[in-house]
């Protein structure tokens, strides 16, 4: 168990039902350059294999009673990769506007505070077979 940093606590306390303080990122990849090809299953497998190297992916929030101090991070021994690693298709025709709209929607979803505070979305259906993991 480790106490949340002041910066992390500020992000947490700054959230409202309509204003989420989590951080999002997007990268669009050309899977034709992958030596062994691309698959969602392999992406997920690699991420799960590497989770032991990133303990923050296993931390979940634990509030202090009565809010008397900053919350703590505790280890979640039962992280469910199926919950955290997801796939979705961009609506047709899959261009920049549809991708932007989908990313805006995903960024607008509140993270489940009863689980580690992260999600990895893989967006498929982009032009030229590209993916956005």
With a pLDDT cut of 90, the percent of the chain lying above it is 80
Q: What is the mean pLDDT of the chain?
A: 93
Q: What secondary structure, in 3-state letters, does the chain show? A: CEECCHHHHHHHHHCECCECCCCCCCCCECHHHCCCCCCHHHHHHHHHHHHHHCHHHHEEEECCHHHCCCCEEEECCCCCHHHHEEEEECCCCCCHHHHHHHHHHHHCCCCCCCCCCCCEEEEECCHHHCEEC
Residue 33 has pLDDT above 90, yes or no: no
Residue 18 has pLDDT above 90, yes or no: no
Predicted local distance difference test score (pLDDT) of residue 51:
94
Residue 56 has pLDDT above 90, yes or no: yes
With a pLDDT cut of 70, the percent of the chain lying above it is 100
For the whole prediction, is pTM greater than 0.85? yes
Task: Grade residue 87 by pLDDT with cuts at 50, 70 and 90.
Answer: very high
Predicted local distance difference test score (pLDDT) of residue 19:
87
Predicted local distance difference test score (pLDDT) of residue 37:
85
Average pLDDT of the segment spanning 110-119? 95
């Amino acid at each position: 168990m480790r106490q949340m940093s002041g910066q992390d606590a500020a992000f947490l306390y700054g959230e409202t039902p309509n204003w989420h303080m989590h951080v999002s990122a997007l990268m669009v990849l050309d899977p034709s350059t992958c030596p062994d090809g691309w698959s969602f299953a392999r992406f997920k497998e690699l991420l799960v294999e590497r989770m032991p190297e990133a303990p923050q992916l296993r931390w979940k929030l634990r509030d202090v009673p009565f809010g008397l101090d900053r919350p703590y991070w505790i280890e979640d021994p039962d992280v469910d990769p199926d919950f955290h690693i997801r796939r979705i298709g961009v609506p047709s025709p899959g261009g920049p506007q549809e991708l932007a709209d989908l990313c805006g929607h995903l960024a607008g979803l509140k993270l489940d505070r009863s689980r580690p505070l992260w999600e990895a979305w893989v967006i498929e259906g982009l032009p030229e077979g590209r993916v956005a993991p």
